[in-house]
């Protein structure tokens, strides 16, 4: 699950989605409905740029196709 608005948490087994709380995933889906992808212009683009002045949001695959940099650190629960 790639989204700039999610952080993994330690929750009881069965109460999460791969380390993300169900409630946080629902909130992120709702947030994503308002965001449009810089590349394809469709809604649901939850991967945002880390540069404060940059307002670009992407779908994960669109970001890869647009040669955007990605950062993954499973140990820290960081996916951006």
Token digits of residue 52: 């404060």
Please indicate, yes or no, if residue 4 is contained in any of the structural domains. no
Q: Determine the Cα–Cα distance for residues 69 and 73; give it in Å rounded to an integer.
A: 14
| pLDDT surpasses 90 at 24 | no
Tokens representing residue 9 in the block: 């948490």
Q: How far apart are CA 2 and CA 52, in angstroms?
A: 19
Give the number of residues written for the chain: 80
Query: Token pair for residue 29?
Result: 């889906």
pLDDT tens per residue across span 58-75: 998 999 899 887 777 777
Boundaries of domain holding 21 = 16-79
Write down the pTM of the prediction: 0.62
pLDDT at 2 (0 to 100): 52
Residue 8: the pLDDT is: 47
What is the number of domains present in the chain? 1
Q: Is the dihedral of CA 70, 65, 18, 28 positive or negative?
A: positive
CATH code for the domain in which residue 26 is found: 3.30.40.10
Q: Is residue 47 part of a domain?
A: yes
């Amino acid at each position: 699950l790639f989204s700039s608005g999610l952080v993994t948490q330690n929750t009881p087994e069965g109460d999460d989605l791969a380390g993300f709380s169900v409630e946080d995933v629902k909130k992120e889906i709702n947030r994503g409905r308002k965001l449009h992808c810089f590349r394809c212009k469709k809604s649901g683009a939850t991967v945002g740029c880390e540069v404060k002045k940059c307002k670009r949001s992407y779908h994960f695959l669109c970001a890869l196709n647009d040669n955007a940099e990605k950062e993954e650190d499973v140990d820290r629960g960081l996916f951006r």
